[in-house]
Chain A
């Protein structure tokens, strides 16, 4: 019998930068970040799906989702539980604030040392930063291999010693094998995550972090969570993961933001044309005359 796996998914709650609608635009043409909805980072959902596929491959395996963020990031942990994750851990502490990717990776790696997973699966990158750095940096901090741009976990040997993964690169594919434990970062081209399951929503909808319970101050929720272990979303602080303050947050971040410039969508006057034959003809004549064409 193959041994079950302990799988951790790294996930992030991000502002939805993909569809910046009119309501999120300020009068000066810049984006009002606060008006963007907070969502589950899309490629982290692809990662969750790969983790759930692995779990299905090995009976008795567990999938935990680990996220670092503010208290409201517990929303994505519940979402993950509705889709098939067994539980979630929220890494939250003021001391984490202002972290660049390196300080973030350090904090996550401290939590992972405590969990000791067999496999760590993360999305390739987050849409608010697009850096793709956290996965490889976590792997380095843990001193284990990384397989990035993964599209599919092809197989896992019976003794859980070797995993085979298909990578999707810009101009081709690569199939690689790696020993465990390792960090896998998953591409958006991988299969979409399974949807929330009605039964799981019923089961986990009252899952809460200790802070959320305190905030709600609701006897019913308190007693529910007290008797049902699976409803307790764990909340870890710097002290819980035995992290070194100097490597956290702003202090632990080699990169500093010197300046932020909002992109202003400036209107430039376009020459307006219709689809009428005369307009198109005139345009082509102009382009040929100016040697833009031909």
Chain B
């Protein structure tokens, strides 16, 4: 009772990375609180998901496996989750800040009248004293997130309502198997008792999902281009450099919006969060929404014609110059020196 629950997304019967990242975080929080970690998987063809989830520390895995439940649809999934939560009373519920979690989370929190904080960048357990009532709380979930376009960092708590719900973007938390696997007890959800026909009123007529080939998140070296790259043509230099030094190409939102690069490459508040060992920012001004997604990089090199570009404030090396001049030189001198 009063455990931590993670709603796990699946695609093609496989647990999404973001959900495993939350399991990793959930395990850590459960250890701090001395409670158990439980996973909820709703979808189809879910044989063996409990094995992987146990490796990530799940003590209990709740599964609803039916063709009608895959792909995700709001109403059946929220009805099942609400039904289960009403019986199991989790103290904390986590889900990915993805198109699924951001669709499901608010619906569930509204039904249960529990607070929900979107896009948390950090989750910590702590206490609180209410100044008005003098009431003291222990073991609350601090839901920490940027707000106001990243210009402030807010710590949100839900002192009274349960579960304390939070969503977290992909790539923000680390994904790591638990030091000691969880108990891995498999539970089948008797989901039909929670769902009615009206919950299937919204129908998916067509679905086109792209394979995720681009993996900016996992790359140890990222060469990111901004609006200053000038064109899609200009971005080719970045791919060349990435090829030579072995990295992946990322982009700012302005570059994505201008059509220079694919959305999957976008880094920042509304893109992926990355923390490579080397980040080369080419023609990127360094607005807070961008830096929010990369300022954890071990080393940052910026190339910008403007010596006062904000990116230089967080850069280790600031090259003042034109990308069209500097990038070919980088390729040339890397090749010359790397043998």
Taking beta carbons and an 8 Å cutoff, which residues of A are in contact with B? 15, 17-18, 20, 30-31, 33, 100-102, 105, 127-137, 139-141, 145-149, 164, 167, 169-179, 253-263, 265-268, 270-275, 277, 279-281, 283-285, 287-288, 292-294
Instruction: Tell me whether A148 and B99 are in contact in the complex, defined as CB-CB below 8 angstroms, given that A130-B118, A179-B201, A294-B245 are known contacts.
Output: yes
Chain B 100-125 near chain A by CB (<8 Å), digits 1 or 0: 00110111011101111111000000
Roughly how many angstroms separate A131 CA and B277 CA in the complex, as a whole number?
Answer: 30
29 contacts between A and B (CB under 8 A): A18-B289, A20-B149, A30-B152, A101-B116, A102-B115, A128-B149, A132-B118, A133-B105, A136-B110, A148-B74, A174-B204, A174-B207, A175-B204, A175-B206, A176-B203, A177-B205, A179-B202, A255-B158, A257-B154, A257-B155, A262-B151, A265-B313, A272-B320, A277-B333, A279-B319, A280-B319, A281-B336, A294-B245, A294-B338
Tell me which residues across on chain A come within 8 A of B114, comparing CB atoms: 254
Closest-CB distance, A235 to chain B (whole angstroms): 26
Q: Are A280 and B110 in contact (CB under 8 A)?
A: no
Q: Are B107 and A146 in contact (CB under 8 A)?
A: yes
Closest-CB distance, A13 to chain B (whole angstroms): 15
Closest-CB distance, B291 to chain A (whole angstroms): 9
Roughly how many angstroms separate A177 CA and B221 CA in the complex, as a whole number?
Answer: 43
Tell me which residues across on chain A come within 8 A of B210, comparing CB atoms: 171-172
Instruction: Tell me whether A178 and B201 are in contact in the complex, defined as CB-CB below 8 angstroms, given that A137-B110, A260-B152 are known contacts.
Output: yes
Q: Are A270 and B109 in contact (CB under 8 A)?
A: no
Interface of chain B residues 288 through 318 with chain A (CB within 8 A): 288-289, 299, 301-302, 307, 310, 312-318
Give the contact stretch, choosing among B41-49, B54-62, B176-184, B321-329. Answer: B321-329
Closest B residue to A136 by beta carbon equals B106
Instruction: Tell me whether A255 and B337 are in contact in the complex, defined as CB-CB below 8 angstroms, given that A172-B208, A176-B205, A270-B316 are known contacts.
Output: no
Closest-CB distance, B279 to chain A (whole angstroms): 11
Roughly how many angstroms separate A288 CA and B333 CA in the complex, as a whole number?
Answer: 11
B128 at the interface (CB under 8 A from A): yes
Roughly how many angstroms separate A280 CA and B333 CA in the complex, as a whole number?
Answer: 7
Closest A residue to B11 by beta carbon equals A171
Tell me which residues across on chain A come within 8 A of B204, comparing CB atoms: 174-176
Roughly how many angstroms separate A292 CA and B326 CA in the complex, as a whole number?
Answer: 19
Q: Which 8 A-B pairs have the closest CB atoms?
A: A275-B321, A17-B149, A254-B115, A255-B115, A254-B161, A172-B209, A140-B110, A133-B106
| Interface range for B | 35 or more
Q: Are B299 and A292 in contact (CB under 8 A)?
A: yes
Counted as pairs of residues, one from A and one from B, with CB atoms less than 8 Å apart, the total is: 244
Roughly how many angstroms separate A256 CA and B329 CA in the complex, as a whole number?
Answer: 53
Tell me which residues across on chain A come within 8 A of B322, comparing CB atoms: 275
Tell me which residues across on chain B come within 8 A of A31, comparing CB atoms: 148, 151-152
B267 at the interface (CB under 8 A from A): no
Roughly how many angstroms separate A175 CA and B75 CA in the complex, as a whole number?
Answer: 16
Roughly how many angstroms separate A167 CA and B330 CA in the complex, as a whole number?
Answer: 42
Instruction: Tell me whether A273 and B325 are in contact in the complex, defined as CB-CB below 8 angstroms, given that A178-B202, A256-B156 are known contacts.
Output: no
B269 at the interface (CB under 8 A from A): yes
B91 at the interface (CB under 8 A from A): no
Tell me which residues across on chain B come within 8 A of A147, comparing CB atoms: 202
B147 at the interface (CB under 8 A from A): yes
Closest-CB distance, B222 to chain A (whole angstroms): 12
Roughly how many angstroms separate A267 CA and B78 CA in the complex, as a whole number?
Answer: 46
B153 at the interface (CB under 8 A from A): yes
Q: Are B157 and A145 in contact (CB under 8 A)?
A: no
Instruction: Tell me whether A285 and B337 are in contact in the complex, defined as CB-CB below 8 angstroms, given that A145-B202, A293-B245, A293-B278 are known contacts.
Output: yes
Roughly how many angstroms separate A128 CA and B128 CA in the complex, as a whole number?
Answer: 26
Q: Are B147 and A128 in contact (CB under 8 A)?
A: yes
Q: Are A176 and B202 in contact (CB under 8 A)?
A: yes
Q: Are B150 and A280 in contact (CB under 8 A)?
A: no
Closest-CB distance, B106 to chain A (whole angstroms): 4
Closest B residue to A134 by beta carbon equals B106
Q: Are A272 and B318 in contact (CB under 8 A)?
A: yes
Closest-CB distance, B240 to chain A (whole angstroms): 15
Closest A residue to B299 by beta carbon equals A292
Tell me which residues across on chain A come within 8 A of B111, comparing CB atoms: 140
Tell me which residues across on chain A come within 8 A of B313, comparing CB atoms: 265-268, 270
Among B115, B149, B208: residue with most chain A CB under 10 A? B149
Q: Are B338 and A293 in contact (CB under 8 A)?
A: yes
- Which of B99, B156, B202, B337 touches A258 (beta carbons < 8 Å)? B156
Tell me which residues across on chain A come within 8 A of B299, comparing CB atoms: 292
Roughly how many angstroms separate A174 CA and B73 CA in the complex, as a whole number?
Answer: 11
Instruction: Tell me whether A137 and B106 are in contact in the complex, defined as CB-CB below 8 angstroms, given that A102-B113, A270-B316, A294-B338 are known contacts.
Output: yes
